[in-house]
Amino acid sequence: MKFGIIGAGNMGRALALGLAQSGAVKAADVCVSNPHTQKLEQLKAAVPDVNVTTSNVECVREADVVVLAVKPWKLAEVVAEVAPAIDSRRQVVCSVAGGVGLTALQEMFAQAGANPLPPLYYLIPNTAIAQRQSMTFMCSAGSNRETDECLLAVFRQLGDAMLVEERLMNAGMVLASCGIANALRYVRAATEGGVQLGFRAADAQHIVAQTLRGAASLLDAEGAHAEAEIDKVTTPGGLTIRGLNAMEREGFSNAVVQGLLAAMPESERRG
Ligand SMILES: NC(=O)c1ccc[n+]([C@@H]2O[C@H](COP(=O)([O-])OP(=O)(O)OC[C@H]3O[C@@H](n4cnc5c(N)ncnc54)[C@H](OP(=O)(O)O)[C@@H]3O)[C@@H](O)[C@H]2O)c1
């Protein structure tokens, strides 16, 4: 499967590196385009076999999967440029532009003269894609099951991926993309606590990060449940439950839920 990635910024670069380094596709089957050469040169220095170009049209020509990784306000301009070069029967298009849903994408391609429209995917990865640990959501229009499965398999190599109805994309973004910031805010708070307990800041952060990795890995077991894992740590009358209850008195769980709800677009807020 050949990828043509338009835009070599944070997301385009992370995706290109992730694809090439995970072995999901051969580096030589990834092409990246960007208007300025500096980011392309940096990418080439990191993975010499990746193809780079300043021409978006050249970038899409050989691709099976075209990924639009430009800012949302650049999307229409890029679609107008590349749509005439896309063969809708052979190629699929994925957009990672946040907040631009399938209907808007379809309109852009229709306006650019695409007929029929190519199969379109709207993807929401998170920044951990750079470490191949993204939780990526995707929804599609005009795709088929085989392509869905191929793309899911590729994005699962870069963490995990879920195909969802479009109505769940914002909820997924809040839980998994804003969720990175939420989790890191916990890391920051726990690190400060660790310093107060006597560790140097760098050690405390390392300890907290490894503890989080450990906690997440406990949930990988078949049928695992967060509360059951908490029960294993909380000796009746012990110190852990005292700490947890003190956190709850300060509103920990409620603060997390309220944070998630507040991050949803107003039109989709529940509660
Ligand atoms: N960063 C994230 O965590 C994240 C997460 C999920 C989704 N996204 C989405 O990913 C998209 C890209 O975000 P980003 O953070 O990667 O932005 P970014 O770092 O600014 O990257 C955008 C890239 O697009 C290039 N570009 C601008 N005009 C172009 C054109 N006409 N043709 C080809 N390339 C062009 C820019 O080139 P120059 O800078 O060289 O001009 C830049 O390298 C956004 O739509 C965002 O919503 C980002």
Whether residue 24 has pLDDT greater than 90: no
Domain co-membership, 134 together with 203: no
- Say what the pLDDT of residue 271 is: 62
Tell me the DSSP string of 111-137.
HTT-SSPPPEEEEE--GGGGGT-EEEE
Tell me the DSSP string of 230-260.
HHHH--TTSHHHHHHHHHHHTTHHHHHHHHH
Query: Counting atoms of ligand 1 from 1, which one is nearest the CA of 125?
Result: 6
Query: Counting atoms of ligand 1 from 1, which one is nearest the CA of 77?
Result: 31
Domain co-membership, 25 together with 144: yes
Domain co-membership, 226 together with 128: no
The tokens 């007929």 sit on which residue?
115
- Coil/strand/helix, residue 68: strand
- Contact at 8 Å (CB) between 47 and 15? no
Total domains in the chain come to 2
State which of 141, 164, 187 marks the end of a domain: 164
Residue 90 Cα to ligand 1 middle (Å): 25
**Tokens of residue 52, six digits:** 């780079």
pLDDT digits (tens, 9 = 90+) for 82-124: 999 999 999 999 999 999 999 999 999 999 999 999 999 999 9
Q: How far apart are CA 6 and CA 78, in angstroms?
A: 8
Residue 234 Cα to ligand 1 middle (Å): 46
Residue 6 Cα to ligand 1 middle (Å): 8
Domain co-membership, 95 together with 209: no
What's 262's domain CATH number? Answer: 1.10.3730.10
Residue 189 Cα to ligand 1 middle (Å): 31
Whether residue 267 has pLDDT greater than 90: no
Q: Is 55 in the pocket of ligand 1 (CB under 6 A)?
A: no
State which of 164, 180, 200 marks the end of a domain: 164
Domain co-membership, 121 together with 233: no
- Say what the pLDDT of residue 21 is: 86
Q: Is 37 in the pocket of ligand 1 (CB under 6 A)?
A: no
- Say what the pLDDT of residue 29 is: 96
Query: Counting atoms of ligand 1 from 1, which one is nearest the CA of 8?
Result: 43
Whether residue 186 has pLDDT greater than 90: yes
Domain co-membership, 28 together with 117: yes
Q: Is 70 in the pocket of ligand 1 (CB under 6 A)?
A: yes
- Contact at 8 Å (CB) between 117 and 87? no
- Residue 129 class from Cβ within 10 Å (0-12 exposed, 13-18 middle, 19+ buried)? buried
Q: Is 36 in the pocket of ligand 1 (CB under 6 A)?
A: yes
Q: How many residues does the chain have?
A: 271
Query: Counting atoms of ligand 1 from 1, which one is nearest the CA of 72?
Result: 45
Domain co-membership, 148 together with 53: yes
pLDDT digits (tens, 9 = 90+) for 27-44: 999 999 999 999 999 999
pLDDT digits (tens, 9 = 90+) for 146-170: 999 999 999 999 999 999 999 999 9
Q: How far apart are CA 217 and CA 194, in angstroms?
A: 22
Q: Is 34 in the pocket of ligand 1 (CB under 6 A)?
A: yes
Q: Considering just the CA atoms, what is the radius of gyration of the chain in Å?
A: 21
- Say what the pLDDT of residue 269 is: 75
The contacts found for 149-157 with CB under 8 angstroms, 24 or more apart, are 150/1, 151/65, 151/92, 151/94, 151/121, 153/24, 154/1, 154/19, 154/24, 154/25, 154/65, 155/123, 155/125, 157/18, 157/19, 157/22, 157/23, 157/24, 157/132
Domain co-membership, 206 together with 129: no
- Percentage of residues in the chain having pLDDT higher than 70: 99
Using DSSP bridges, classify how beta strands 120-124 and 134-141 pair: parallel, antiparallel or unpaired: antiparallel
pLDDT digits (tens, 9 = 90+) for 187-196: 999 999 999 9
Nearest to 161 by CA among 170, 150, 153, 173: 153
For residue 252, the enclosing domain spans 172-268
Q: Is the pTM of this model over 0.85?
A: yes
Domain co-membership, 251 together with 123: no
Q: Is 56 in the pocket of ligand 1 (CB under 6 A)?
A: yes
What's 116's domain CATH number? Answer: 3.40.50.720
pLDDT digits (tens, 9 = 90+) for 191-221: 999 999 999 999 999 999 999 999 999 999 8
Amino acid at 178: C
Query: Counting atoms of ligand 1 from 1, which one is nearest the CA of 98?
Result: 47
Domain co-membership, 155 together with 204: no
Domain co-membership, 9 together with 136: yes
Pocket test for ligand 1, best of 17, 34, 93, 121 (most atoms within 8 A of CB): 34
pLDDT digits (tens, 9 = 90+) for 40-76: 999 999 999 999 999 999 999 999 999 999 999 999 9
Q: Is 96 in the pocket of ligand 1 (CB under 6 A)?
A: yes
Paired with 163 in beta bridges are 138
State which of 112, 130, 164 marks the end of a domain: 164
Domain co-membership, 93 together with 115: yes
- Contact at 8 Å (CB) between 6 and 69? yes
Q: Is 11 in the pocket of ligand 1 (CB under 6 A)?
A: yes
The tokens 């995917």 sit on which residue?
121
